[in-house]
A and B are shown apart, each in its own frame.
Chain A
Amino acid sequence: GAVVSQHPSWVICKSGTSVKIECRSLDFQATTMFWYRQFPKQSLMLMATSNEGSKATYEQGVEKDKFLINHASLTLSTLTVTSAHPEDSSFYICSARDVETRGNTIYFGEGSWLTVV
């Protein structure tokens, strides 16, 4: 099946620094990717929709200047958490839409644990 890879799997950074998380679709082209945040034992919270070649669409309440999203190619989207604070610590997951499959199936990355100290 389709594979979506995230990197890094986990990262620890100091408060005030920025950290970048990559999301790659390995065997299909993804014009649209999605970024989520998940707190322990809770559902996925959609942060933004990443569109290849254009600006991301952010959900209400998500700071676009803090969570920078770039979708530079059909297989790569990046999420940069700028000036990270401890409250940004979370599990971040991306997904990519495979337009070639019936129903535009979504496949998820493995997730990235961010800890801000």
Chain B
Amino acid sequence: GQQLNQSPQSMFIQEGEDVSMNCTSSSIFNTWLWYKQDPGEGPVLLIALYKAGELTSNGRLTAQFGITRKDSFLNISASIPSDVGIYFCAARRTSNQFYFGTGTSLTVIP
């Protein structure tokens, strides 16, 4: 079952605003992944984090692997309408043990 607490569950923001979402857990993980899912499609990998404290950017997206290895956050700067979708975090403990967050639904109002 899922062991990741993702928040917020949903966000409604104005175009141009920054967005922040996070995932937390009581367990330690070795890898954190962030995905975006557009309606009717499979999730697409945005950022992968492999080391505690690691901060990685992908365009307007920035994600960090928490120093305690129990959390991660994703920031989106200067949001645009195409950022709309559901964002999932995922974390890996061992090779086959992946867990998913419950998702953050993002709506960007033009």
Identify the A interface with B (CB < 8 A): 1, 4, 6, 32, 34, 41-44, 46, 49, 91, 93, 95, 97, 99, 101-111, 113
CB neighbours of B31 from chain A (8 A): 103-105
Using A34-B98, A43-B2, A44-B88 as known contacts, say yes or no to A105 and B42 having CB atoms under 8 A apart: no
* CB < 8 Å A-B pair total: 61
A-B contact pairs, 5 of them (CB 8 A): A43-B101, A43-B102, A103-B92, A105-B33, A107-B45
State the Cβ distance, A90 to closest chain B Cβ, in Å.
Answer: 12
What 9 A-B pairs have minimum CB-CB distances, sorted nearest first? A103-B31, A108-B42, A111-B42, A103-B50, A108-B43, A43-B102, A110-B42, A43-B103, A93-B42
CB neighbours of B41 from chain A (8 A): 110-111
Contact with A along B70-110 (1 / 0, CB 8 A): 00000000000000001010101001101011110100000
Q: How large is the interface on B (under 10, 10 to 19, 20 to 34, 35 or more residues)?
A: 20 to 34
State the Cβ distance, B33 to closest chain A Cβ, in Å.
Answer: 7
Q: Is B48 positioned at the interface, with any CB of A under 8 Å from its CB?
A: yes
State the Cβ distance, B12 to closest chain A Cβ, in Å.
Answer: 15
